[in-house]
Amino acid sequence: MPDNRATPGRVASVGKVATVPSGSSSSTPTIEVHIAPTHPASTGRLDQAPVQVSITTDTVRDALVVPVNALLSLAGGGYAVEVAADEVRRLVPVSLGLFDDSDGLVQITGAGIRAGQHVVVPAT
């Protein structure tokens, strides 16, 4: 929403032509997308407003996720995470699932990985 609130909705229609708004200093083309809010009252008295939209293309319930920057590339291909327990660190190979780009998370699965384990991430 224009005031930075978020509300769920569904894509009602997507335009077919990208345009650059006239009189705009931006040269970034846009495509008109109509979103129908799940709870129309959440939009207040707005009739039209430019907003940022995050589109969810798939979901997984009870997924085990880690920050994307916890992933380590393995020399032979694939990925691992470094698990820390009792001052001991070890690499655990993982398979990747869905990515959550907005939160910087990735779903992982693999033998030897479970909820509650501590994974190492680079210091920022």
pLDDT in tens, 24-70: 677 788 888 888 888 888 888 887 777 777 777 788 888 899 999 99
Token pair in block for residue 26: 């931006």
pLDDT in tens, 58-73: 888 888 999 999 999 9
Give the model's pLDDT for residue 24.
66
* Cβ count near 107 (within 10 Å): 16
Is the full-model pTM beyond 0.85?
no
Give the Cα separation of 4 and 8 in Å (integer): 13
**C-alpha span between 90 and 120 (Å, rounded):** 10
Domain ranges of the chain: 1-55, 65-119
Query: Residue 89: pLDDT band by 50, 70, 90 thresholds?
Result: very high
Instruction: Calculate mean pLDDT across residues 10-15.
Output: 90
Distances (CA, A) of 122 to 4, 52, 67, 70, 91: 30, 30, 10, 7, 15
